[in-house]
Amino acid sequence: MRQDLYQRLRCPRCLARLGLTIEAGPPDHVVAGWLDCWSCVEKYPIVNGIPRFVPVMNYADSFGLLWDSFQQAVLDSALGVTQSRDRFFRETTWKPEDLRDKWLLEIGCGAGRFTEIAFQCGANVVAVDYSSAIDACRRNLGDDPRLHYVQGDIYSLPLRPGMFDYVCCFGVLHRLPDARAGFRELPKQLKPGGQLAVDIAPRRFFRRFGPTAWFRLLTTRLPYAQSMRFSRALTSCLLPLQRVLGRMPFIGRWLQHQLPIAPVETLSACRADLVHERACLAMCDRLMTQHHQPGDVESVAQWLKDAGLEQIEACCDTLIVGRGRKPRGQTTQEPRAA
Ligand SMILES: [Zn+2]
């Protein structure tokens, strides 16, 4: 943990400044120690260089285990593709050159697929995840003065509000117990003039009542290892079938998309084992995550409006995407205690 991050951290319960006790590492690269809130007498550990603000066991445990299992299968750099980069800039409409030297907050970074993109553009990135995926993210992307990792909760972010030029949150909101409550915390982190981009899975009849929903009745109740084995076996069955269907003229593409497996045709040039791992990850993600609360365009537009943002856009891409900017004249909410 570096000083740049420490200056931005606040107690997630009362937003007071935190005292720092260093147990290992120099002051600008703390490896182990404690953050103390003098206001509500709470202590938060720093373990492996990452400040931790969540219970050791939490509802996102399966995410952490998933990212641990599939660390490399999500990174553009590992796959040799631009899939995550394309999605990042398509959904945000931000320009790569605008991110240079700016501060970007990514909520729900997972193993770092989008963190990597923002970092490559020259941004100072604070990557936050609730689960132990934050450790996979750090293993994937390593240490750099512009990369900061936090294990924290979207519902009570351990950050001083109003400090970020950009805030993004992808693939997270529909996996929360309460998507709207999670979203409400994001605009608070923007500086005046700062920009927000989020996405959320759309409501789809087939997803709600199709095979995936039936499989989830089983897989969300199984122990993690069994659920993982089931998801892997299902992927091994469906991936070859998906390829065969893809070669059929006219209706092949449509039939492909009816299968309860994520399409991987954009990865056709990648190594077969990595494509298989990526398909397994997507399957596990579909079948094993505890919550699935999709949204709709109207709700996302209303969330952005309720947050007082301007230049609001909400549209349905593959996912529902929402964007907005904090008005330049809007004063930033001050911490409750500083
Ligand atoms: Zn406190």
φ and ψ at 165, to 5 degrees? -75, -30
Among 323, 305, 330, residue whose Cα is nearest residue 195: 323
Q: Which residues of the chain have pLDDT under 70?
A: 56-73, 204-209, 263-270, 290-291, 331-338
Domain ranges of the chain: 1-52, 78-202+294-325, 206-288
Residue with token string 């700016």:
102
Question: Token digits for 220?
Answer: 């969300």
Q: What is the DSSP string of 128-150?
A: EESSTHHHHHHHHH---TTEEEE
CB 210 within 8 A of CB 260: yes
Q: How far is the CA of 109 from the centre of ligand 1 (A)?
A: 25
Tell me which architecture the domain covering 78-202+294-325 has in CATH: 3-Layer(aba) Sandwich (3.40)
User: What is residue 337's predicted lDDT score, i.e. its pLDDT?
Assistant: 44
Q: How far is the CA of 198 from the centre of ligand 1 (A)?
A: 28
Q: How far apart are CA 291 and CA 174, in angstroms?
A: 7
Q: Which residues have C-beta within 8 Å of that of residue 141, sequence separation ≥ 6?
A: 112, 115, 116, 119, 147
- Rounded to the nearest angstrom, the distance between the alpha carbon of 37 and the centre of ligand 1 is 5
Q: What is the pLDDT of residues 195-217, one digit of tens each?
A: 999 999 887 655 666 777 787 77
Q: Ligand 1 mean position to 269 CA, how many Å?
A: 50
DSSP single-letter state for residue 315:
E
How many Å lie between the centroid of ligand 1 and the Cα of residue 199? 31
Which pLDDT does position 214 carry in this prediction?
81
Distance (Å) from CA 137 to ligand 1 centroid: 27
pLDDT in tens, 140-150: 999 999 999 99
User: Residue 253's pLDDT is what?
Assistant: 76
Residue 331: the pLDDT is 63
Chain centre to alpha carbon of residue 304: 19
